[in-house]
């Protein structure tokens, strides 16, 4: 049986048996609804639905919910059988605290009885997916932006940076902007998120962005309940926020400047190789016009070494940048498990959860 690879993101869990060059078999929301029965049960009016978010800003925060989610994914969706569980590899976000790594390996061996475990950092895995061991990833997901330079398969933590901004903040920004132009609009956050994915875009440059705010390009959109709203300039504001975080009320540099600044502490002999192998990944980076704007700003950047983007290999699926951490995990799983580099049940029983720091790096 192939190992299972899991990338549990703040919005989407990607999971499936390791099959490099393919999309993960399962891409599903991490958020779940838990039904809480109030009182003596049975009466529908007493049942309350509570939303639970196992992963917040990249890290597992609700372990009971995570256990429920993984149980569903592994046994129901992927067909593991109790008593015959397979091996599993997790794609870990940047700066995962040691305690979370340990709790995960403990959950896997003690509750799920897995036969082997491995964890590797998302930045390293995303580069494997494009056939690299060195480069710099800019992962713009739902709960965070991670900038991580990687040299020869090792994340340079000192030069890496995490920003607590992601797709969720852009969704909130879009809600706020749409309310200004459509004051009567009645809409829930999941519908705004879909509108964001459809209408958010990056202007060619700042001048073009300002033009969109003057000329008010407008499209009409019919919401699920039949209301009609207008949307246009709001979509550009959402895209611009990645290049001008002051739109979100943050005193940060735009994403290109951040990249150059973050990794300037890497030794100069590596700097060129890293910046010239920049990889954009994560769902938010697939926003229309983002890559073009990023490259345009990179070309204008004042530093002597300018970032340039990795071209994904043609044989990889179209969604590579959205699922690159999972795909790199599938590539790595094909190496670590057959070569016995993973944490085995014996290792775990002998050393306990701290084994994860010795074996997985």
CB 196 to ligand ATP: min, Å:
6
Report the alpha-carbon distance of residue 32 to residue 66 in Å, rounded.
10
Please say which residue, 86 or 143, places its beta carbon nearer to ligand ATP: 143
- Give me the residues paired with residue 222 across strands: 228
CA neighbor of 58 nearest in space, from 114, 122, 106, 3: 122
Please say which residue, 8 or 343, places its beta carbon nearer to ligand ATP: 8
| Binding test (CB under 6 A) with ligand ATP, winner from 16, 116, 143, 329 | 143
Give the count of residues interacting with Mg ion (CB under 5 A).
2
Give the count of residues interacting with ligand ATP (CB under 6 A).
21
- Give me the residues paired with residue 221 across strands: 229
With beta carbons less than 8 A apart as the criterion, state whether 77 and 71 touch: no
Tokens representing 81? 């059988």
CA distances from 175 to 100, 189, 283, 336 (A): 33, 8, 19, 44
Residue 9 interacts with Mg ion (CB under 5 A)? yes
Q: Which letter does DSSP use for residue 288 in this model?
A: B
Report the alpha-carbon distance of residue 126 to residue 28 in Å, rounded.
19
* 44 to 83: interface string for ligand ATP, x by CB under 6 A: --------------x-------------------------
Q: Which does 262 bind (CB under 5 to 8 A by kind): Mg ion, ligand ATP, none?
A: none
| Binding test (CB under 6 A) with ligand ATP, winner from 200, 202, 274, 279 | 200
Torsion of CA 278, 320, 292, 294, to 10 degrees: -40
- Using the contact rule CB under 6 A, the part of the chain among 6-14, 32-40, 154-162, 202-210 near ligand ATP is 6-14
Residue 142 interacts with ligand ATP (CB under 6 A)? yes
* Per-residue burial over 126-141, b = 16 or more CB atoms within 10 Å of its CB, e = otherwise: bbbbbebebbbbbbbb
Please say which residue, 266 or 330, places its beta carbon nearer to Mg ion: 330
Give residue for tokens 């049975």. Answer: 42
> Which residue number is nearest to ligand ATP in terms of Cβ?
167
| Binding test (CB under 6 A) with ligand ATP, winner from 96, 273, 286, 344 | 286
Residue 141 interacts with Mg ion (CB under 5 A)? yes
State the alpha helices, DSSP H only, in the chain. 63-71, 98-106, 122-129, 167-181, 189-199, 206-215, 233-243, 255-263, 268-275, 290-300, 320-336, 345-351, 355-359
| Binding test (CB under 6 A) with ligand ATP, winner from 10, 156, 175, 212 | 10
CB 293 to ligand ATP: min, Å:
13
Residue 283 interacts with ligand ATP (CB under 6 A)? yes
Binding site for ligand ATP (CB under 6 A): 9-12, 58, 141-144, 166-168, 193, 196-197, 200, 282-284, 286-287
């Amino acid at each position: 049986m192939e190992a299972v690879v899991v990338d549990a993101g703040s919005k989407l869990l990607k999971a499936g048996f390791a099959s490099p060059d393919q999309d993960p078999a399962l891409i599903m929301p991490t958020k779940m609804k838990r039904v809480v029965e109030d009182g003596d049960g049975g009466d529908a009016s007493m049942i309350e639905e509570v939303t639970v978010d196992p992963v917040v800003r990249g890290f597992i925060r609700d372990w009971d919910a995570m256990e429920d989610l993984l149980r569903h994914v592994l046994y129901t969706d992927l067909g593991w059988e109790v008593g015959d569980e397979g091996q599993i590899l997790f794609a870990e976000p940047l700066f995962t605290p040691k305690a979370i790594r340990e709790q995960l390996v403990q959950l896997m061996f003690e509750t799920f009885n897995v036969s082997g475990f491995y964890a590797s950092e998302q930045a390293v895995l995303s580069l494997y997916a494009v056939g690299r061991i060195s480069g710099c990833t800019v992962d713009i997901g739902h709960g965070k932006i991670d900038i991580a330079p990687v040299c020869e398969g090792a994340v340079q933590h000192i030069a890496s940076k995490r920003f607590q901004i992601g797709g969720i903040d852009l969704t909130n920004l879009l809600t706020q902007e749409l309310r200004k132009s459509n004051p009567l609009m009645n809409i829930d956050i999941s519908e705004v998120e879909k509108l964001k994915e459809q209408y958010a875009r990056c202007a060619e440059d700042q001048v073009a962005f300002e033009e969109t705010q003057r000329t008010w390009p407008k499209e009409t959109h019919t919401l699920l309940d039949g209301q009609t709203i207008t949307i246009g300039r709001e979509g550009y504001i959402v895209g611009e926020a990645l290049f001008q975080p002051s739109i979100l009320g943050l005193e940060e540099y735009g994403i290109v400047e951040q990249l150059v600044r973050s990794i300037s502490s890497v030794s100069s002999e590596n700097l060129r190789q890293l910046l010239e192998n920049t990889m954009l990944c994560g769902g938010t980076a697939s926003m229309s016009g983002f890559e073009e704007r990023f490259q345009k700003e990179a070309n204008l950047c004042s530093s002597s070494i300018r970032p340039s983007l990795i071209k994904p290999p043609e044989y990889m699926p179209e969604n590579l940048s959205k699922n690159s951490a999972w795909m790199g995990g599938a590539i790595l799983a094909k190496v670590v498990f057959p070569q016995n580099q993973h944490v085995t049940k014996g290792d775990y029983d002998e050393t306990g959860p701290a084994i994860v720091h010795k074996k997985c790096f």
